[in-house]
Chains A and B, each alone.
Chain A
């Protein structure tokens, strides 16, 4: 069982370039999330999705876009990369199963913008 798979693991971008961070889950979870984690800091929610075709902004959405065409995939698009977007990005998924709302995380994508 692969769980949540993120690609790539590492990436260096130049200022102004664009890229897509890929995320796929095989647990048939309705809910998916993108977080960023800056060094020594906690997790900040960028975008989330409650199901295919439905997405919404989180705490720090500026400079990012998402889409959810299938239950499995939730790519994060960075347009016009800026140094402030240097961070580690985590994709996660969950489902509401009674009171248990456990989130499963991918291994992360470490992005550096230079």
Chain B
């Protein structure tokens, strides 16, 4: 099963608040879990990524939490800012059986941070 499920579909957060987006996967062969950020009219760009041998990775205000046993991972945006308003995609990859090296993307979360 290649599906990656992402929730919520949309999220509204006040400036300074914490934004949390969750993803779940089925394929235990995945070993690379990136998050992509997409601004309107632009292509997705890598925000932060994690491997399953660690439970957390932090880069500035962005943190990925990873739960291997539950096959879930989440993105936390601390002190959310209006400039963080964008669509966020989780993804999974690294399955060496996948000849195309492609990522499987979640459905996306549209985040709006209110001033």
Contact = CB atoms under 8 A, between A and B. Distances in A.
Given A48-B100, A107-B43, 15 more contacts: A30-B101, A42-B107, A43-B105, A48-B102, A56-B99, A56-B100, A58-B102, A94-B102, A95-B101, A99-B32, A99-B51, A103-B103, A105-B44, A107-B42, A108-B43
B25 interface: no
Nearest to A107: B43
16 contacts: A30-B101, A31-B101, A42-B89, A42-B105, A43-B105, A43-B108, A45-B102, A94-B103, A99-B94, A101-B32, A102-B34, A103-B46, A103-B102, A107-B43, A108-B41, A108-B42
A48 B93 CA distance: 15
Interface residues of A, number: 28
Contact of B100 (A4, A31, A42): A31
A74 interface: no
B107 A41 contact: yes
A1 interface: no
B101 A96 contact: yes
A93 to B, nearest CB: 10
The 3 closest A-B pairs by CB, nearest first: A105-B43, A42-B107, A48-B100
Contacts of B51: 99
A90 B41 CA distance: 11
A61 interface: no
Interface residues of B, number: 26
B11 to A, nearest CB: 14
B49 A100 contact: yes
A100 B91 CA distance: 12
A104 B34 CA distance: 12
B16 to A, nearest CB: 27
B105 A50 contact: no
B112 to A, nearest CB: 13
A101 B100 contact: no
A42 B106 contact: yes
A80 to B, nearest CB: 26
